[in-house]
Amino acid sequence: MKRIYNIISVVVVFATLLLPSKLMAADAKTTAEVCWSEGIAAYEAKEYSEAVRCFEQVAELGYTSADLYYNLANSYFKLGEQHAEEGNRKFSGGELGRAVLNYHRALREDPALEDARYNLELAVDYTNDTEPLPESFIVTLWRGARDTATSNSWAIASLVLFGLMLGLIIFYLLSNNIALRKLSFFAALLLFVGFIFSTTFALSSRSDVEHDNRAVVICSDTTPVHASPESGSKVIRQPSQGVTVRALREHGEWSEISFADGEKGWIRSSKLEKI
Amino acid sequence: MLVALLTTVATWAQVSFKADVPTIVALGQPFRIEFSVDAEPERDSFKAPEFAGFDVLAGPSVSTGHSVQFINGKKSASYSCTYTYVLMPTEAGKYTIGAATVTVEDKRYTTEPQRIEVIAEKESERPQQGSGKAHGSTSAESRISKDDILLRLKVSDTDVYKGEAIRASLVLYTRVSIADVSDINIPSFDGFWSQDLSFDNAPSREEYNGRIYETHKITELLLSPQQSGRITIPAATMSVRTPVEVQSNRGFDPFFGGRQIHYVTKNLSSKPVTIDVKEFPQGAPRSFKGAVGDFRISSSMPNSEIECNSADQLELTISGSGNLKFITAPKLSLPDSFEVYDTKIVDNIKASASGTSGSITYTYPFVARSAGEFTIAPIEFSFFDPATGEYNSLRTEPFTIMVEDDGSSVTQSVVGNYTNYGSTMRQLDRDIRYIHIGLLPDVAGSVVIFSPIYWLVVVVLVAIFVVLYILLRKRIRDNRNIVARRMKRADKVAIQRLRMAERSMGEGNRHAFYEEMLRAMWGYISDKFNIPQSNLTKETIREELFRRGVAMAVAEEFCEIISRSEEAQYAPSTDGEMGVVYADAIDVISKIEDVVKH
Q: What are the pLDDT digits (tens) for B200-249?
A: 777 788 878 777 888 888 888 888 888 888 888 888 888 888 887 776 55
Dist. CA B320–CA B360, nearest whole Å: 9
The residue among A37, A65, A72 with the most chain B CBs within 10 A of its CB, best to mutate, is: A65
Q: What would you measure as the largest C-alpha separation in chain B, in angstroms?
A: 197
Residue A45 has pLDDT above 60, yes or no: yes
Amino acid in the structure at residue A255 = S
CATH superfamily, region B2-120: Immunoglobulins (2.60.40.10)
pLDDT recorded at residue B575: 59
How far from A183 is each of A186, A196, B466, B473, B574, CA to CA, in Å?
5, 20, 21, 20, 55
ipTM: 0.76
Q: Are A193 and A219 within one domain?
A: no
Q: What percent of chain B has pLDDT over 90?
A: 2
Q: Is B439 in contact with A33 (Cβ distance < 8 A)?
A: yes
Given phi > 0 = left and psi -120 to 50 = alpha, else beta, which region is A42? Answer: alpha
Judge: B431–A71 Cβ closer than 8 Å, yes or no.
no
**Among residues B343, B383, B381, which one has the least CA distance to residue B362?**
B343
Q: Judge whether residue A166 has pLDDT over 60.
A: yes
Q: Is residue A99 part of a domain?
A: yes
Task: Identify the closest residue of chain B to A156 by CA–CA distance.
Answer: B448
Q: Cα-flanking dihedrals φ and ψ of residue B237, to 5°? A: -130, 155
CATH (domain of A12): 1.25.40.10
Q: Does residue B453 sit at the A interface (CB-CB below 8 Å)?
A: yes
Please say which residue of A167, A192, A210 terminates a domain.
Answer: A210
Task: Report pLDDT for B1.
Answer: 45
Distance, in Å, from the CA atom of B154 to the CA atom of B42, rounded to the nearest integer, reads 47
SS3 B588: helix
Indicate the helix (H) or strand (E) that contains B307.
Answer: strand B305-307
- The pLDDT of residue B248 is 59
Domain chopping of chain B, boundaries: 2-120, 125-277, 289-404, 450-478, 489-595
Residues A182 and A90 in one domain: no
CB-based contact, B410 to chain A, within 8 Å: no
CATH 3.50.50.60 fits B289-404, yes or no: no
**Does some domain include residue A131?**
no
Taking CB atoms within 8 Å and a gap of at least 24, the contacts of B419-422 are B419/B370, B420/B369, B420/B370, B420/B371, B421/B370, B421/B371, B421/B372
Can you give the pLDDT at residue B395? 86
Cα–Cα distance, B349 to B326 (Å, whole number): 11
The answer to whether B455 contacts chain A (CB < 8 Å) is no
Judging contacts by C-beta atoms under 8 Å, the chain B residues touching residue A62 are 443
Percent of chain B as helix, strand, coil, to the nearest 5: 25, 40, 35
End-to-end CA distance of chain A: 52
Domain final position from A210, A229, A263 = A210
B contacts of A3 (beta carbons < 8 Å): 467
Residue among B443, B455, B470, B482 with most chain A CBs within 10 A, to mutate:
B443
pLDDT tens readout for residues B101-131: 888 888 888 888 888 888 777 655 444 444 4
Q: Does this chain's domain B2-120 share its CATH topology with B289-404?
A: yes
Examine the domain organization and report whether A224 and A203 are in the same domain. no
Identify whether residues A100 and A185 lie together within a single domain: no
Instruction: For A21-68, give the DSSP string.
Output: HH---HHHHHHHHHHHHHHHHHHHTT-HHHHHHHHHHHHHTT---HHH
Indicate if A96 and A145 belong to the same structural domain.
Answer: no
- pLDDT value, residue B424: 57
Q: What is the DSSP letter of B39?
A: S
| 3-class DSSP state of B380 | strand
Q: Is B53 exposed, middle or buried (0-12, 13-18, 19+ CB in 10 A)?
A: middle
Q: Is there a contact between A122 and B462 if contact means CB atoms under 8 Å apart?
A: no
Overall size of chain B counted in residues: 598
- Beta strand B288-300 with B211-225: parallel, antiparallel or unpaired? unpaired
Are residues B17 and B28 in contact, defined by beta-carbon separation less than 8 angstroms? no
Same domain, A78 and A15: yes
Contacts of B467 in chain A (CB under 8 A): 3
Question: Is the Cβ pair B440, A58 closer than 8 Å?
Answer: yes
- Between chains, do B473 and A68 touch, taking CB under 8 Å as contact? no
Helix (H, G, I), strand (E, B) or coil at B431: coil
Q: Do A221 and A162 reside in the same domain of the chain?
A: no
* Interface membership of B461 toward A (CB under 8 Å): yes
Q: What does the pLDDT look like over B291-311, one tens digit per residue? A: 888 888 888 887 778 887 788
Question: CA dist B219 to B42, B146, B198, B274, Å?
Answer: 46, 22, 8, 19
Alpha carbons B130 and B292: distance in angstroms, whole number = 57
pLDDT at A78: 92
The answer to whether the beta carbons of residues A199 and A151 sit under 8 Å apart is: no
| Set of chain A residues whose Cβ sits within 8 Å of the Cβ of B286 | 85
Identify all chain A residues contacting B477, using CB atoms and an 8 Å cutoff. Answer: none
A29 pLDDT above the threshold of 50: yes
Does any domain span residue A130?
no
Interface test with B, best of A2, A60, A68, A125 (most B CBs within 10 A): A68
Q: Do A32 and B440 touch (CB under 8 A)?
A: yes
Mark whether A170 and A143 lie in a shared domain.
Answer: yes
**A221: CATH:** 2.30.30.40
**Could you tell me if A254 and A266 are in contact, meaning their C-beta atoms sit under 8 angstroms apart?**
yes
At A84 the pLDDT is 77
Amino acid at B139: S
Q: Are A67 and B440 spatial neighbours (Cβ–Cβ below 8 Å)? A: no
In a domain, A132, yes or no: no
pLDDT < 70 regions, chain B? 1-14, 122-143, 247-259, 406-426, 443-445, 483, 486-487, 489, 572-576, 597-598
Contacts of A40 in chain B (CB under 8 A): 435, 437
Please compute the mean of the pLDDT values over residues A144-169 and round it to a whole number. Answer: 91
- Position A85 confidence tier, pLDDT thresholds 50, 70, 90: confident
Instruction: Please name the residue of chain A whose CA is at the shortest distance from the CA of residue B451.
Output: A155
Residues of chain A found within 8 Å of residue B473, distances taken between Cβ atoms? 173-174
Among chain B residues, the shortest Cα distance to A72 is held by: B435
Q: Is the peptide bond before B60 cis (omega within 30 degrees of 0)?
A: yes
pLDDT surpasses 70 at A12: no
How far apart are alpha carbons A68 and A102 in whole angstroms? 9
Residue B249's pLDDT is 59
Please name the member of A70, A78, A162 whose beta carbon is closest to the beta carbon of B436: A70
A85 to chain B: which residues are within 8 Å by CB? 286
Q: Average pLDDT, stretch A4-19?
A: 54
**Is the pTM of the predicted complex or chain greater than 0.90?**
no
Give the span between the Cα atoms of B449 and A200, in whole angstroms.
9
pLDDT at residue B73 in the model: 78
Is position A167 within any domain? yes
User: Which residues of B fall within a CB distance of 8 Å from A109?
Assistant: 444
- If one compares B413 and A35, the residue with the highest pLDDT of the two is A35
Of A10, A74, A169, the CB nearest to B432: A74
Helix (H) or strand (E) holding B563: helix B552-570
The answer to whether B439 contacts chain A (CB < 8 Å) is yes
Which long-range contacts does A161-167 make (Cβ < 8 Å, 24+ apart)? Answer: A161/A191, A161/A192, A161/A194, A161/A195, A161/A198, A162/A191, A162/A195, A162/B458, A162/B461, A163/B461, A164/A191, A165/A191, A165/A192, A165/A195, A166/B461, A166/B462, A166/B464, A166/B465, A167/B465
Residue of A19, A52, A119 to mutate, interface with B, max B Cβ within 10 Å: A119
For A254, the domain range is: 214-274
- The verdict on a CB contact (< 8 Å) between B469 and A174 is yes
Q: Is residue A183 within 8 Å of A169, Cβ to Cβ?
A: no
For residue B333, the one-letter residue type is S
Largest CA distance in chain A: 81
pLDDT of residue B287: 81
On whether both A9 and A119 belong to a single domain, the answer is yes
Q: Does B484 touch chain A (CB under 8 A)?
A: no
The yes-or-no verdict on residue A52 having pLDDT over 90 is: yes
Dump pLDDT digits (tens) for A185-229: 999 999 999 999 999 999 999 888 888 889 999 888 888 999 999
**Chain A residues closer than 8 Å to B452 by CB:** 17
Distance CA B51, CA A195 (A): 113
CB-nearest partner of B448 from A22, A63, A156: A156
Q: Which of B126, B128, B137 is nearest to B265 (CA)?
A: B137
Q: How many domains does chain A have?
A: 3
CA–CA separation, B173 and B187 (whole Å):
18
Give the orientation angle of helix A48-60 with respect to helix A26-44, to 10 degrees: 160
